[in-house]
């Protein structure tokens, strides 16, 4: 009996072109658009300054500085000054006198905050070049002092110890977009599930099935299994989009570092939550129009507060706390842990359990409501 | 035999069925007449275990409705007024689905197809059927479990006279198969055409139960419709 009901549900979903579009095509398009569009926002190498360098000094130190600037990823050294945002003039005798400053000409359109960033990056390189020069000069007097100076390292790694809080690992645009739209797409099952459910209820098919000794539990189970399977297909197709399709648009590919078992666990738990919410809406709404409207709004709200549309790490703390109320956020956190922190099943167990409890609660509630509605002939 | 004894069913303060009793003989085609809200659909829902009674007793072929629900469901079938099947599935897929969930036998599947003349339409999508064909599919689904009793809830609503006639003729044939039919309709001529016995219900109470022959022999009225209007007090109004 159960296999016949599952087969029926599959046939109905697979013949619903709009549902397939919403379940598979829409999230894939979202992943592509958002990954590419947000690429630079998430990139740590986004800041690039075009510079032109006039080296009047032509000393070892000025050449060392030039070499450092060309090796720094934040600077693009142009061969002509026409298009340069900054023109750096290294005056004659610069290496010989500590009082001679480097001159910088800035293009009108450059904003003050960009100048600050430019100066801070440039300072680091100038300081390094000076330390290097000092070390060389000291060598003739004291090898030890020279070594001490040389050992002074101005790299970020040596100067700062940056430790991210667990919840604040920052993903790249693909790592953010893929799980976000997977989570959002999984909840799109509200549309086909509620449409089929409500048609069955309105047409008295559910009552007919009930009179054929099909229990509400069997009805719910037979609907849950196909959508769980569909959700799994969604997850792996969207991961495929992130891994293979997104890089074709000059955007970082998705890298899965965590456990595959953890991906199965979080997607299964998330699926149960999505099915629970969908069932609840389907059995509570009085028409498919009402269900798709409520479902659509709820989906967008859960997505908005859950970090799907706006990444949680850029939200203020109060909004991050609010986000924790959304099951989409739990699912998203689980996926991000797997992608960013190489999480295994144990590390995402809290999210999995929360999603399972939420899903089971919603499903049980929907069964109670459905039973009530069948008995009342509603 | 279906024996309904002193049943009561209320929705909040409103009594849908009030101390209602009725007996339906095996193999008969039994008509239930009543205006909207008289209690017909409530009665059919109760007989199909879709609603519970507040008080009273019902026995269907010797089975107690309170304790033997599953057994009763397996020997009975309801043909709902709505087309309770899947428009996006083919005729064959619909019948296959409903027969599998009831563990129906292959011969019953074939019989349901034949009685409702659906043999050539197995691959046709249900949504592409005509109104009459859809009604026949709706009825065929109800025959899949080879029921001893079938409840028809206004099965001919919204179809053309030719299809209606075909359906009524097929229902008449159920008698020869030993199936008991309980039929509700607003169309008095349908009741007159197929039923052996008729019960008239009004405001949740049984007003009259009699053979069709006796009802039609009422000298004061010229048709079943007039008799119905007289007995429910609508004729004077």
pTM: 0.73
Statement to judge: residues A50 and A86 lie in one domain: yes
**How many residues are there in chain A?**
378
Pick the closest to residue A366 from A211, A226, A209, A194 (CA basis). Answer: A194
Q: Report the pLDDT averaged over residues B120-126.
A: 93
The angle, 0 to 180 degrees and rounded to 10, between the axes of the packed helices A26-37 and A173-186 is 160
Q: Are A261 and A225 within one domain?
A: yes
Domain, as residue range, for A148:
46-166
The answer to whether residue A20 neighbours chain B at the CB level (below 8 Å) is: no
Does residue A1 sit at the B interface (CB-CB below 8 Å)? yes
pLDDT at B110: 92
What separation in angstroms does the CA of A373 have from each of A195, B14, B153?
16, 18, 19
**Smallest Cβ distance to B101: which of A4, A12, A202?**
A4
Would you call A145 helix, strand, or coil by DSSP?
A: helix
Q: How confident is the model at residue B176 (pLDDT cuts 50, 70, 90)?
A: confident
- Beta-carbon count within 10 A of A313 CB: 16
Spell out the alpha helix ranges (H) of chain A: 2-14, 17-20, 26-37, 39-42, 60-71, 112-139, 143-150, 156-159, 173-186, 190-202, 205-211, 216-240, 260-284, 288-305, 317-323, 327-341, 349-376
Assess contact for A324 and A240: CB atoms under 8 A: no
**pLDDT, mean of residues B178-197:** 89
Say whether pLDDT at A44 is over 80.
no
Q: How confident is the model at residue A306 (pLDDT cuts 50, 70, 90)?
A: confident
In sequence order, what are the beta bridge partners of B125? B90
pLDDT, tens digit, 9 for 90 and up, residues A351-378: 999 999 999 999 999 999 988 887 776 5
The nearest alpha carbon in chain B to A371 belongs to: B50
Residue-wise pLDDT tens digits, A155-213: 766 666 655 554 445 677 888 888 898 999 999 898 888 888 888 888 888 888 988 98
pLDDT at A232 over 80: yes
Question: Is the same domain home to A26 and A66?
Answer: no
3-state secondary structure of B231: helix
Best mutation target, A8, A214, A371, to test chain B (most B CBs within 10 A): A8
Residue B104, token pair as written in the block: 């129906």
Q: What is the pLDDT of residue B144?
A: 94
**Are A324 and A277 members of one domain?**
yes
Q: Which residues in chain A are contacts of B88 at CB distance < 8 A? A: 11-12, 15-16
Does residue B237 register a pLDDT over 50?
no
Output A299-306 pairs: Cβ under 8 A, ≥24 positions apart: A299/A184, A299/A187, A299/A188, A299/A190, A302/A187, A302/A326, A302/A327, A302/A328, A303/A180, A303/A183, A303/A184, A303/A187, A303/A328, A305/A329, A306/A183, A306/A332
- Put simply, the answer to whether B101 touches A15 (Cβ < 8 Å) is no
Is the same domain home to A162 and A178? no
Stretch A338-350: mean pLDDT: 88
Give pLDDT tens digits for B35-54.
888 888 889 989 988 888 99
Supply the mean pLDDT for chain A. 86
Q: What is the pLDDT of residues B48-96, one digit of tens each?
A: 888 889 999 999 999 999 999 999 999 999 998 889 999 999 999 999 9
Confidence class for position A253, pLDDT limits 50, 70, 90: confident
Window A:62-91, CB contacts with B under 8 Å = none
- Give the pLDDT confidence score for residue B229 in this predicted structure: 81
Give A147's contacts (C-beta < 8 A, 6+ positions apart): A135
- Contact at 8 Å (CB) between A264 and A345? no
Contact A94, A62 (CB under 8 A): yes
Chain-centroid distance of CA B94 in Å reads 21
Distance CA B40, CA B229 (A): 17
Residues A27 and A92 grouped into a single domain:
no
The CATH architecture that domain B2-82+152-231 belongs to is: 3-Layer(aba) Sandwich (3.40)
Do A142 and A199 belong to one domain? no
* Contact call for residues B192 and B224 (beta carbons, < 8 A): yes
Closest chain A residue to the Cα of B141, Cα to Cα: A208
| Tokens coding B75 | 């020997």
Give me chain B's average pLDDT, please.
Answer: 88
Give the pLDDT score at A291. 87
What is the reported pLDDT for A169?
Answer: 59
**A67 and A85 co-located in one domain:** yes
* Tally of domains within chain A: 2
The label of the residue with tokens 């017909």 reads B40
Between chains, do B97 and A7 touch, taking CB under 8 Å as contact?
yes
Whether the predicted interface score ipTM is above 0.90: no
Name A27's Cβ contacts closer than 8 Å, sequence gap at least 6. Answer: A181, A182, A184, A185, A188, A234, A238
Note whether B100 contacts A374, CB cutoff 8 Å.
no
User: Is B18:B54 a contact under the CB 8 Å cutoff?
Assistant: no
Query: Which CATH number characterizes residue A148's domain?
Result: 3.40.1710
Q: How confident is the model at residue A207, as a pLDDT?
A: 85
**Dist. CA A138–CA A146, nearest whole Å:** 5
Q: Are A213 and A2 in contact (CB under 8 A)?
A: no
Rounded average pLDDT over A222-243: 93
Same domain, yes or no: A272 and A235: yes
As a whole number of angstroms, the distance between CA A281 and CA A275 comes to: 10
Judge if A158 and A95 occupy the same domain.
Answer: yes
């Amino acid at each position: 009996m159960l296999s016949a009901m599952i087969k029926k549900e599959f046939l109905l979903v697979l013949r619903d072109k709009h549902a397939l579009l919403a379940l598979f095509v829409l999230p894939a398009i979202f992943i592509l658009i958002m990954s590419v569009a947000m690429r630079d926002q998430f990139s740590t190498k986004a800041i690039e300054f075009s510079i032109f360098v006039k080296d009047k000094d032509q000393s070892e130190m000025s050449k060392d500085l030039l070499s450092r600037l060309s090796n720094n990823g934040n600077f693009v050294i142009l061969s002509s000054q026409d298009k340069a945002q900054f023109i750096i003039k290294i005056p004659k005798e610069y290496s010989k006198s500590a009082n001679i400053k480097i001159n910088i000409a800035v293009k009108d359109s450059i904003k003050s905050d960009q100048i600050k960033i430019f100066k801070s990056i440039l300072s680091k390189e100038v300081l390094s070049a000076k330390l290097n020069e000092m070390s060389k000069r000291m060598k003739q007097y004291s090898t030890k002092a020279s070594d001490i100076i040389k050992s002074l390292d101005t790299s970020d790694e040596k100067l700062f110890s940056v430790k991210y809080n667990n919840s604040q690992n920052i993903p790249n645009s693909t790592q953010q977009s893929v799980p976000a739209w997977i989570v959002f797409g999984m909840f799109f099952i509200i549309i086909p599930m509620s449409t089929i459910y409500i048609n069955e209820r309105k047409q008295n098919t559910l009552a007919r099935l009930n009179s054929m000794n099909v229990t509400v539990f069997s009805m719910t189970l037979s609907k849950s299994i196909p959508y769980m399977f569909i959700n799994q297909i969604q997850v792996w197709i969207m991961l495929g989009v992130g891994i293979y399709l997104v890089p074709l648009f000059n955007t970082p590919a998705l890298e899965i570092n965590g456990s595959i078992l953890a991906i199965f666990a979080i997607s299964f738990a998330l699926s149960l939550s999505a099915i629970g919410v969908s069932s609840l809406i389907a059995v509570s709404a009085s028409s498919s129009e009402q269900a798709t409207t409520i479902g659509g709004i709820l989906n967008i709200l859960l997505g908005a507060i859950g970090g799907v549309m706006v990444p949680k790490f850029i939200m203020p703390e109060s909004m991050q706390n609010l986000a924790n109320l959304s099951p989409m956020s739990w699912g998203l956190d689980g996926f991000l842990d797997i992608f960013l922190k190489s999480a295994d099943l144990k590390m995402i167990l809290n999210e999995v359990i929360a999603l399972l409890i939420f899903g089971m609660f919603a499903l049980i509630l929907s069964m109670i409501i459905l039973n009530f509605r069948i008995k009342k002939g509603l | 035999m279906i024996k309904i004894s002193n049943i009561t069913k209320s929705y909040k303060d409103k009594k849908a069925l009030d101390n209602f009793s009725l007996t339906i003989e095996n193999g008969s085609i039994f008509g239930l007449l009543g205006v909207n809200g008289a209690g017909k659909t409530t009665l059919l829902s109760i007989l199909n275990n879709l609603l519970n009674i507040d008080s009273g007793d019902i026995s269907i072929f010797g089975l107690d409705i309170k304790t033997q629900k599953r057994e009763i469901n397996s020997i009975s079938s309801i043909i709902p007024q709505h087309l309770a099947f899947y428009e996006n599935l083919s005729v064959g897929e619909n019948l296959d689905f409903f027969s599998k969930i009831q563990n129906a036998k292959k011969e019953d599947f074939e019989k349901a197809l034949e009685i409702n003349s659906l043999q050539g339409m197995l691959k046709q999508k249900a949504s592409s059927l005509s109104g009459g064909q859809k009604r026949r599919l709706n009825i065929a689904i109800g025959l899949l479990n080879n029921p001893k009793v079938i409840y028809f809830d206004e099965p001919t609503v919204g179809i053309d006279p030719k299809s209606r006639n075909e359906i009524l003729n097929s229902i008449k044939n159920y008698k020869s198969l030993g199936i008991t039919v309980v039929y509700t309709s607003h169309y008095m001529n349908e009741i007159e055409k197929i039923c052996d016995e008729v019960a008239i219900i009004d405001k949740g109470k049984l007003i009259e139960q009699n053979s069709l022959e006796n009802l039609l022999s009422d000298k004061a009225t010229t048709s079943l419709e007039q008799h119905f209007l007289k007995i429910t007090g609508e004729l004077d109004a």
